[in-house]
Copies of this chain bind each other. A is one copy, B any other.
Amino acid sequence: MTGDLPSNLLEQAVQQMNTLPGIGRRTALRLVLNLLRRNEQEVETFANAFIRLKKDIHYCRYCHNLSDTDVCPICSSHSRDKRTICVVENVQDVMAIENTGQYNGLYHVLGGIISPMDGIGPKDIEIESLVVRIDSEPINEIIFALPTTMEGDTTTFFIHRRLKEVNRPIRFSQIARGMAVGNELEYTDEVTLGRSILNRQSIE
Q: Which residues of chain A from 40 to 95 have a CB within 8 Å of any chain B CB?
A: 40, 43-58, 65-68, 72-74, 90-92, 94-95
What is the minimal beta-carbon distance from A184 to any residue of chain B, in angstroms? 24
**Residue of B2, B43, B67, B74 touching A50 (CB-CB under 8 A):** B43
Given the known inter-chain contacts A7-B67, A68-B8, please indicate yes or no for A1 contacting B92, CB distance below 8 A: yes
Report the nearest B residue to A73, measured CB to CB. Answer: B6
Interface size class of A (residues with CB under 8 A): 35 or more
Give the distance in Å from the alpha carbon of A52 to the alpha carbon of B3 in the complex: 21
B20→A95 contact, CB < 8 A = no
Q: What is the copy number of this chain in the assembly?
A: 2
Segment touching B, from A30-38, A125-133, A162-170: A30-38
Known: A16-B46, A33-B91, A43-B54. 19 other contacts (CB 8 A): A4-B99, A5-B66, A6-B95, A7-B67, A7-B68, A9-B49, A9-B52, A9-B68, A10-B53, A10-B66, A13-B52, A13-B53, A16-B45, A20-B34, A20-B35, A33-B90, A36-B53, A36-B57, A47-B48
